[in-house]
Chains A and B, each alone.
Chain A
Amino acid sequence: MSGTANVNEMALRIGDDPSWAMVRTHFDIKSFGVNAYIADEPGVRVIEEHDELGERAGGHEELYFVANGRATFTVDGDEIDAPAGTFVFVRDPAAKRTAVAEEAGTTIVIAGGKPGEAFSPSPWERNAEGLVHFANEDYDKAAETYEQFLDEQPGDAGFLYNLACAESRLGRKESALKHLRECVETEERFKENAVADPDFDAIRDDPEFLAITGQAGSAGTRS
C-alpha cells in the first residue's frame, strides 16, 4: 500500500532495547529491507553487534543513515563518529557492525538487500510480527503467533525463544522451560539472552532454568 507514517509514532519499545520502527512490515515493502531504531538516551546500543552471515541473517549489504542525534559505529574493528546526516554503508556481509548512541533520541534508518538477488525478508525479521504483541503486552497473542511460526519452521531457535518468553509471562512454566531448552540446544548463544531477559523473571530461580542457562552451580548467588 502507499502511505505515510512518522518514525517516532511507528517505534515500538520492547523491554530495554532501543525502540524499533518496523518500516518494511508497516508498509509491506517487497523489494528491500528497511527499519529504524531510536535510542532514548546516550549509551544505548542502538545497533546490536552482528554480521550478515548467519543462518538467520539475509547476507545483505546494509546502509545505515543517522537521521537524528549522533552515534559511534564500530565496523570491522574501526570506530566511526557518526553525527546526524552520516551514511555508513557496510558492503561486506562478514564485517561485524554495531553502534552506540551518543545523544538522546539518536535515530538510525537502515536499508538492506542482497546484491544480484530478488529481495526476500531476512528470517529474523519474521520475529517482528510477534514482537508487536510483546510491546502491547498481549502475551497470549504473542504465544499464538510463535506457535504458528514454529508450525511453518519447526525448530527455529529464535521463534522457540520468543515463545518461551511469552509462556513465562503467561505463567506457563513447564512449556516455557521446555521451549527454552529446545532453543538453547539449537543455538547456545540464547543462554546469555535468557539470563538478562526480564521476560523470564517468573521462572528465573527455577532450578531447571538455572540448568538450561548454565548457572546451575550458582543458584542463590545471583546479585
Chain B
Amino acid sequence: MTEKAYEVVHLDELDRYPVDDEGLLWRPVRRRLGITAFGTNAYTAEQGTERVVEEHHEEGGHEELYFVASGRATFVLGDEEIDAPAGTFVHAEPGTRRGAVATEPNTTILAIGAKPGVPHEISGWEEIFVAFGHYRNGDEDKAREHLAAYVAEHDDAWQGHYNLACLEALTGNGDRAIGELRRAIELDPQAKEYAANDSDFDRLRDDPEFPA
C-alpha cells in the first residue's frame, strides 16, 4: 500500500484527550497526520481560565515553538510574563521554563518541537497521553490496553512501565502497580525519585513492598 501524498484535517476534528483534571485538552496533530520530521500538537482550554501549556522545561533537549491559534493566553517564559493574543509565536529553548494559562474561552495553542542536530524521534509520551486520556474519560480498560501495548513494544523504556504502574495504582491493582514500578526502577533509578513524589501512588505508599 502506498501512503497518500497528503492529509487534511481541521482542528475541530482532532481528538480531545484530557491531560489533567482542570480541563486542558491535548489534540494530537503529529500522530493524526503521520508527521515524522518534527513533533506537533495542539492544546485547547475551553473555559478560558485554565492552564493551556503545562509549566515545564524540555528534558529531552527539544526546542519548542508555540503559536496561539485562537483565543488568548498568558505565557511564562523564564522570568518573563507575556500576554499572547491569537497570532503570537513564543519560542522556548530547551532549558527555558515555560507554561501558559488561557485568558479567553476556546484558546488553542499549536506547539511544534524537535531536537537540534539529530533526526527527529517520535516522543513516547504521546501514547502515554492517549492512555491517560482514556482513563480520564472513564475508560479504564481502554487505557490499560493502550499502555500494555506500548509497554509490550517498548519493554526497555522505563516510562511505559512507570505509567502503567501509575494506572494500576490509581485503579486499585496494588500488586501489579508494584511489579511495574520495580521494573521501571530497574531500568532507570530516577523512577524511584519520581514515584516518591507522585500522588498517583499515595494509596500504596504504606505498603511494605512499595519500592520508593
Contact = CB atoms under 8 A, between A and B. Distances in A.
Interface of A: 1-8, 10, 23, 27, 29-32, 34, 60-61, 63, 65, 67-68, 75-76, 78, 80, 82-83, 85-92, 94-95, 97, 107, 109, 111-119
Give the interface centre of A6, A78, A95 by most chain B CB atoms within 10 Å: A6
Given A8-B87, A94-B5, 14 more contacts: A4-B77, A30-B116, A30-B117, A31-B113, A32-B37, A65-B67, A76-B5, A80-B8, A85-B69, A85-B70, A87-B11, A88-B8, A91-B6, A97-B6
Contacts of A75: 5-6
Give the interface centre of A2, A109, A113 by most chain B CB atoms within 10 Å: A2
A89 B89 contact: no
Contacts of B113: 31-32
A61 B37 contact: yes
B6 A32 contact: no
B57 to A, nearest CB: 10
A87 B37 contact: no
7 tightest A-B contacts by CB?
A113-B37, A31-B114, A30-B116, A92-B5, A27-B91, A85-B11, A95-B5
A29 to B, nearest CB: 6
Given A86-B10, A87-B11, A29 B63 contact: yes
Given A32-B114, A117-B119, A118-B117, A87 B89 contact: no
Contact of B93 (A1, A60, A115): A1
Interface in B51-107: 62-63, 65, 67, 69-70, 75, 77-78, 82, 84-93, 96, 98
Contact of A111 (B3, B38, B63): B38
A31 B116 contact: yes
B40 interface: yes
A115 B115 CA distance: 13
Contacts of A92: 3, 5-6
